[in-house]
Amino acid sequence: MQWKDVTLNISDKQRTRLKQLGAQFTDAMENKGLIKCDVPVSLTEELTEIINANTEVRANLKDAYENNNHYVLRLIDKDNEILNLPWPLVRETNHFKQLVDIKSLHIVKTPTPIFDKNYSDFTPQVAAPLKILIMISSPTDLKLEQRLSYEDEEYSILKAFEPLLKTGHVQIDYTDDGSLEALESKLKNKDNKYHILHFSGHGSFKGSQGTLCLEDHNTLQETRVPVTDLDFAKAVNAKPDYKIPLVVLSSCKTAQGNSEKILSGVTNKLINIETPSVISMGMSVSDRHAIRFTAELYTELANGLSIPEAFSTAMKRLKIHEQQQAANGGYVTQQWMIPNLYVSRKIEKLVDWDSAPVPLKLTNYQYVTEGKQISLAHKAGFMFVGRRAEKAKVFEPFFDRKPIMLKGQGGVGKSTMAEYMVQRAITKDPAKTVPVIITHEVRSIDDVLKVIEAAMLKTGSEKMVNITITSKSIPEAILRLDTILRVFATDYDPVLVFDNLETFQDVSTGLFKAEYNDIYEVIKHLCSEKILQLVLTGRYSIPGLANVIEVNLNNIGFNDYWKKCQYLELFEIHNELNKKFYLDTIFDKQEAEFVDLVKFLYESLGGNFRALEFFNEIYKNKRTEITESLKTIKSMKAVLAAAVTDIKSEMALNLVFRELLKLVNAGQKRVLYLLSNFRIPVQLKASKCSLRDKC
């Protein structure tokens, strides 16, 4: 593959003309890109004249077309506005072929100041599989027209990457959220080195400063302090001794206005810190086209193509897809012209394919569940998955010392969520945070005191030692507890977790059993006083507690379940399921995709994480029994479906309505009460009247 550096020799008059034509083209794409956008003939002619003015380049283009010799045409200019123009429209003069249609020709771009630094060529350092880190930022408080549909975006990425994941040639990881902290946390991990960072999000202008709409690590709302392109570049460079070879900046079409300029600014900042290559969008691009483009790109990279080849192939395939859509009666679109490949140096291969494969180590968090309780033991393979909505609800009050109650059935991840909260507290202040884990093994307030005192003594602080001794003279246990915790919380940030509280509760009322009433009084006191960060987990609500933020974890999202299946590496099971027996008996179709397996397990196991882990263990340890396991699940699903029909009404009343009623205000409850007296549909007018109005 030959690299040809082409410095764009453009006169001031030409430059002005190109910018005018480019602005018209961008405006047409922004406003009509999903309906009809005719590429200005004059723009194509101007670009063609500039490229073909170079005799050597003209000969290279002819050779690429006629002899299929591969060339990388590196365009060099000081102005991103010029570089972002649709140069693939240029025509090779001998055969009148557009550059995009010459299979062995690849276009990359480098700003002049970066080219002048003459960075050395990139050499792959990290072995297979191709490792991709995905970051989606969609702050929950953005205006609707600016906001990415997080779940839809995530689902599209999961679906697009599914064929790659099945091959084993690609491994995908996700940031916890769309914040700089989450990104840095992943990139600073000394055990993991990624080949690609895929960022999907928006930009905006605040004053004269270009910013990215990233999320606050705790609230998932837009950050209060604007995140500049330089901030983002520094986060990407969190591990200076290792540069991620490729950063992909994907923006959807709802990033109106100046988003393309912001991403262009981010591109320059990334290239300036020596990021080898960056793919960014020259203007706003639709979600579905961006996803299709990147899926094609990553497929070819996983197949071993160089970055320039994979980029060109993905662009060509997107063009063909758009042409097919138009031929089938759809709208004519030109989204294939939007992606740009910028490089700071010559770069071809991303992956060291010759070395032995080194998979990612997905062991991010220190506190994991052993059996049913939280412990301080480290367990290989632990990975916290998803829970975006719950995290948005819980972290701000948690760090404000409001007690948090994590509620849900067994296996939905209450203890895991509590572990994650502890880890986040440690990350925020590792020197002062002290986790105190209280499990079902305690039987009285004295046991609780022993656990807390043990944690205090582990700090090695003389002050903590003294208070545990002097407090023993306090006769009332609650007062003694209050005294030592207030001292503890002065010098440290203790995080107290009461795990699996259903052990102490009466199932029918949620009240603590009489023999555990002193433990209830401890929890009640801690909730009232807010001395420290407090997390409670259990299956049932606890009556009589003040200040508690209750978070229901029963609703596990399908995307979270899908990611969990990926982390458990259930693809081998999927291959087994594509055998005829399973296709006939389980899926009733000729061929099953991995998503079909995920849906089957999600529906059959009720979206339960623990049941999924058990199923995975059964397969790994007793592979010959997988047939019986699947038969059992299939028949169990049918039995459960029949049973659900009989008890559906009661479940709706007892469970669903109880949760829904928490979401409505007093006035809405009055209207619901009024409507509950009717067994026939009521006109909308009735629901808008108060009880005193005459409807």
pLDDT digits (tens, 9 = 90+) for 168-222: 788 888 888 889 998 998 999 888 899 999 998 876 545 445 678 898 887 878 8
Distance of CA 168 to the CA centre of its chain: 21
Q: What type of residue sits at position 665?
A: N
Write out the H or E segment, with its range, that includes residue 107: strand 105-111
Query: What domains lie within the chain, and their CATH numbers?
Result: 2-115 (no CATH), 130-343 (3.40.50.720), 369-552 (3.40.50.300), 558-657 (no CATH)
pLDDT at 459: 93
SS3 content of the chain, % helix, strand, coil (to 5): 50, 15, 35
Across 20-29, 133-142, 201-210, 505-514, the highest mean pLDDT is recorded for 505-514
Which residues lie closer than 8 Å to 248 by C-beta, 6 or more apart? 196, 197, 198, 199, 278, 279, 280, 294, 297
pLDDT of 255 > 60? The answer is: no
Band of residue 647 on the pLDDT scale cut at 50, 70, 90 = very low
CA 437, CA 459: separation in Å to the nearest integer? 15
Give the C-alpha separation, 454 to 252, whole Å: 52
Look at 222 and 61; give whichever has higher pLDDT.
61
Q: What per-residue string of b and e applies to 57-81 under the rule 16 or more CB within 10 Å gives b?
A: beebbbbbbeeeebbbbbbbbeebb
pLDDT: which is higher, 391 or 336? 336
Q: What is the full DSSP assignment across 333-395?
A: --GGGSEEEEESS-----SBTTSPP--------S--EETTEE-S---TT------HHHHHHHH
Task: Please give the order of strands across the beta sheet that includes 433-438.
Answer: 433-438, 493-498, 533-538, 404-407, 549-552
User: b/e for 517-554, b at 16 or more Cβ within 10 A?
Assistant: ebbbebbbbbbebebbbbbbbbbbebeebeebebbbbe
Question: Which residues lie across from 227 on neighbouring strands?
Answer: 212
- At residue 691 the predicted structure's pLDDT band, cuts being 50, 70 and 90, is very low
Whole-number Å distance between alpha carbons of 67 and 88: 19
Instruction: Write the burial class of residue 272 (CB in 10 Å: 0-12 exposed, 13-18 middle, 19+ buried).
Output: middle
User: Average pLDDT of the chain?
Assistant: 80
Residue 408, SS3 per DSSP: coil
Q: Residue range 257-263: average pLDDT?
A: 49
Closest C-alpha to 200, from 314, 94, 280: 280
Kind of pairing, strands 91-92 and 97-98?
antiparallel
Contact status, residue 105 vs residue 61, Cβ threshold 8 Å:
yes
pLDDT at 362: 66
pLDDT confidence band for 56 (50 / 70 / 90):
very high
pLDDT of residue 295: 86
Query: Among 39-43, 177-181, 257-261, 284-288, whose mean pLDDT is lowest?
Result: 257-261
Average of per-residue pLDDT across 594-609: 78
Average pLDDT of the segment spanning 560-574: 72
DSSP 8-state secondary structure symbol assigned to residue 567: H
End-to-end CA distance of the chain: 78
Cβ atoms 452, 497 nearer than 8 A: no
Token pair recorded at residue 69? 């010799």
pLDDT band per the 50, 70, 90 thresholds, residue 688: low
388 within 8 A of 175, measured Cβ to Cβ: no
pLDDT reported for residue 203: 67
- The 10 Å CB-count burial string (b at 16+, else e) for 35-51 is eebeebeebbebbbebb
Instruction: Give the mean model confidence (pLDDT) for residues 283-294.
Output: 82
Asked whether the predicted pLDDT for residue 562 surpasses 70, the reply is: yes
With 0-12 / 13-18 / 19 or more C-beta atoms within 10 angstroms meaning exposed / middle / buried, residue 680 is exposed
Give the range among 367-381, 539-553, 625-639 with minimum mean pLDDT: 367-381
User: What 3-state DSSP class applies to 553?
Assistant: coil
Of residues 510, 389, 489, the one with CA closest to residue 434: 489
Q: Which of 72, 155, 162 is nearest to 108 (CA)?
A: 72
| pLDDT tens profile 340-384 | 999 999 999 999 999 999 988 764 333 333 333 344 333 444 455
